[in-house]
Structure 1
Amino acid sequence: MADPTRTQARTAEVRLRWLTLAAFVAPLVVLAAVFGTRFGLWSAGFGLEVLTLKIGRILAFAGLAAALIAVINALKDVRRRGLYAAVSLAVAGATVALFLVQQQRFAVPADNDVTTDPAEAPAFSRAVLAMRGGAGAGGGGASVACPDLVSVPRQVAPETAAAALSAAGFTVRGAAPFRADGAQEGFWFGLTYDAAIRIRPGRTDVRVAQREGVSVGDEACRLAQAVVQGLTPQG
């Protein structure tokens, strides 16, 4: 006849293992979303906005709840169950914290097509427009201004423009008199941003636009400000 105490202990340990595994579901869903997007199984919008920010977020909080239950169960036998509880709480807590940070960042209202000159935004080259699927593709409309994003009040050299793009993380596509172009592809979901620098006597303007049209907060503004900073003399 089976020992009831041993059976209960074994059942509790199995339950604790399942609770620990629940803490890993959200990170695994995010990894699947990333790899699925990178391998072209679905769009960046579906991978980021649906699988990650919606489904993944729900699973992250569910994992945190499971981790808290695991901690309560582990208090009955800390020596044998403490490790499970600690791992589940660490993973679930870190996952929820990352989601909260990203949620705060993505909640910033901003456009995916920004410029230092909304009245006459720098134009992308024909090659870039072709990759973007046509004029305005991915931007959702006309290029708009960003807070604290202003033109550089001087004419810069094409080499300086190319260096500013490179310093901001863009791959330089070309640099010529009065303009420079670059592109940057994100590591996780492959979101691509195109940048155009227009150089005129006494003024240099910048435009940065995302191709996919996926809402990621003020990322386009941040990149444009980084380019402008590289064009601005230091000291």
Structure 2
Amino acid sequence: MAEPTRTQARAADIRLRWLTLAACLAPLLVLIAVFGTRFGLWNASFGLEILTLKVARILAFAGLAAALVAVLIAFKDMRRRGLYAAVSLVVAGAAVALFAVQGQRFTVPAANDVTTDAAETPAFSRAVLAMRGGRTEESVACPDLVSVPRQVAPETAAAALEAAGVTVRGVAPFRADGAKEGFWFGLTYDAAIRIRPGRTDVRVAQREGVKVGDEACRLARAITAGLQP
């Protein structure tokens, strides 16, 4: 009877290791998607929308199921197998929670090209348009995003861009512009501030055209907040 018991224990240990690996597949795939995008193996749309938000999301819930099975297997010998169960449950639970939070934010219907003045959209400089490949979209308004009712100094406009995490690329008497590149997938948002007597307007537009919820609106609001007196 001893030999079958050792065989069964060995088989349970093997299953436990595979279940732990399954619980870690979602974050591993996200890392692969990020590095593949950053190194140019595929575009941001494939890396974020397909690999991360679709495939990795499915793997996260499958990983949570695998983690629960791992806990059941480890329950008979928690001293020796408890670490596998704990790692599986923590990793899988965190992955599902993050996807739930990010999923709510990414599904917010919003445009990638937004402005405080949809009737007369602030134009990007020729240098920015060249970096965007000459591509322009229709700029729309965001909820609670309005023009600043004063003429700000160019230095104030540049400071507002920097405070919002935007790298300033140019400052002129009646305008300032810059770009902000995302850390994970490198999504780039171009920002322009147009300064006129009694009014200052903001425009933010993503280059890649990947839907990530209201990120453009949030950046535009942050810039506008920095222009307030």
TM-score of Structure 1 vs Structure 2, range by shorter chain: over 0.9
Where 1:180 maps in the other structure, the secondary structure is strand
Where 1:77 maps in the other structure, the secondary structure is helix
Letter in 2 for 1:231: L
RMSD: 1.0
Letter in 2 for 1:12: A
Letter in 2 for 1:221: C
The residue number in structure 2 matching 1:224 is 220
5+ unaligned residues in a row in structure 2: which ranges?
A: none
CA offset at residue 174 of structure 1?
Answer: 0.6
Distance 1:149 1:187 in 2: 25
Distance 1:110 1:31 in 2: 26
Query: Which stretch has the larger CA shift, 75-84 or 219-228?
Result: 75-84
The residue number in structure 1 matching 2:101 is 101
Distance 1:109 1:156 in 2: 31
The residue number in structure 2 matching 1:152 is 148
Distance 1:64 1:127 in 2: 48
Distance 1:43 1:92 in 2: 27
Where 2:24 maps in the other structure, the secondary structure is helix
Out of 158, 161, 165, which is 2:161 matched to? 165
Letter in 1 for 2:151: Q
Out of 195, 201, 210, which is 1:199 matched to? 195
The residue number in structure 1 matching 2:209 is 213
The residue number in structure 1 matching 2:83 is 83
The residue number in structure 2 matching 1:187 is 183
Letter in 2 for 1:131: M
TM alignment of 1:39-50, pairs within 5 A: 39-50=39-50
CA offset at residue 135 of structure 1?
Answer: 4.0
CA offset at residue 17 of structure 1?
Answer: 0.8
The residue number in structure 2 matching 1:30 is 30
5+ unaligned residues in a row in structure 1: which ranges?
A: none
CA offset at residue 2 of structure 1?
Answer: 7.1
The superposition leaves residues 192-225 of structure 1 with CA deviations (integer Å, 9 ceiling, x where unpaired) of 0000000000000000000000000000000000
Letter in 2 for 1:81: R
The residue number in structure 1 matching 2:74 is 74
Where 2:202 maps in the other structure, the secondary structure is strand
Change (3 A) 1:135 1:81: closer
Letter in 1 for 2:68: L
TM-score (norm 2): 0.98
The superposition leaves residues 140-162 of structure 1 with CA deviations (integer Å, 9 ceiling, x where unpaired) of x3100000000000000000000
Query: Which stretch has the larger CA shift, 221-230 or 70-79?
Result: 70-79
Deviant stretches of 4+, over 2 Å: none
Paired residues, number: 229
